[in-house]
Amino acid sequence: MPKMKTHSGLSKRVKRTASGKLKRSHASAYHKAEAKSPKRKRQLRGTTMVSRSDERRIKQMLVYVK
């Protein structure tokens, strides 16, 4: 059985925390930002955790990422 490959696009977008959870940035933060309100842009800043429903699927794609 060959080794599984890490999804390289996803590994650039998601980081693993010390407790093993997955951290990601918000979508839609920069594209067409002039049309978004300052409150909305402020709330899209920073990072958030990957939802529990997506976690299992994403962890399979990030096989060797520590």
What was the pLDDT predicted at 1?
85
Tell me the per-residue pLDDT of 40-61, one tens digit each, with 9 for 90 and over: 999 999 999 999 999 999 999 9
CATH architecture assignment, domain 8-61? Irregular (4.10)
Beta bridge partners of 48: 24
Domain boundaries, the chain: 8-61
pLDDT tens-digit readout, 33-42: 999 999 999 9
